[in-house]
Structure 1
């Protein structure tokens, strides 16, 4: 799975909002705190607002805040808000991919891949990431000897 720049920036901005002491943070502050391009982040924040993950407020004290507690917003939701489905095959959902012959069972591999990705991203909240208190099954995955090896 490849995480796009949009998804990475969106999650980082949401983590800043989750950890914020102020009631709202403006886009410039969010961009600066994570070293993100300001204009690009504004477009991402608009997607997050449309998805109902953040609320925006105008005025001198304006900015963005989470629409729900950080413990109720999951990383997978953030990624879907800016990039769409978590796993795709040639631009389709895995269950739509059809194969014949020796590749007949490939669809089940793609579906299992999506399920594995969901088991991490849809069960890890912003609060979990901010505190570093990740769900046990995620900690188990990163404790595996091969987890940190690139292939």
Structure 2
């Protein structure tokens, strides 16, 4: 999996938004997280279409979480801005077809997606904002090999 700039920026923006009790301006989010304004507006629009954030117009307008940050996962955000967590040349793994000798690849892609889900669906925006990641996610980082960029 490759995390896009768009997903990274979306998650950083949501961490910032979730830390505010009221609405926060896109300008404030962009400045705090060093996200270019035009790109941030596009990301916020994607997140609004997905029902993750809501906008408020007017002089005291801005952005707020549409749902409890504990109910929004990293996977939800990635899907909202980039589509499926894992695809094989733009196709979902269960829809890919191979000849008999390569059919085993489909099983590998489905297993990889399942592995991604086990982490990305377990981590909420609230967990990111508070730094309180789930224990099973943290356990995956205790092996030195996890930090090795093979």
Cα separation, 1, equivalents of 2:132 and 2:44:
26
Give the alignment of 1:48-87 within 5 angstroms. 48-87=47-86
Gaps of 5+ in 2: none
Q: Give, in whole Å, the separation in 2 of the partners of 1:134 and 1:49.
A: 25
Structure 1 residue matching 2:145: 3-state secondary structure: coil
TM-score, length of structure 2 as denominator length: 0.96
Q: Secondary structure at the match of 2:117?
A: helix
1:20 Cα deviation from its structure 2 partner: 2.0
How far does the alpha carbon of each residue in 1:57-112 deviate from its partner, in whole angstroms, 9 at most, with x for none?
A: 01111000000111111111011111010000011000011112431211000000
Following TM superposition, the consecutive aligned residue runs of length 4 or more in structure 1 with deviations greater than 6 angstroms are: none
Residues 7-22 of structure 1: pairs in structure 2 closer than 5 A: 7-21=7-21
Distance in structure 2 (CA, Å) of the matches to 1:139 and 1:35 = 27
**TM-superposed deviation, 1:26:** 1.0
Q: How does 1:133-148 map to 2 (within 5 A)?
A: 133-148=132-147
Query: Which runs of 5 or more residues in structure 1 are unaligned?
Result: none
Q: What is the RMSD computed on CA atoms of the aligned residues?
A: 1.0
The TM-score with structure 1 as length reference comes to 0.96
Report the 3-state secondary structure (helix = DSSP H, G, I; strand = E; otherwise coil) of the residue aligned with 1:55: strand
SS in structure 2 of the partner of residue 10 of structure 1:
helix
Spell out, residue by residue over 1:8-42, the C-alpha distance to the aligned partner (whole angstroms, 9 max, x if none).
11111001011124x01111111110111001100
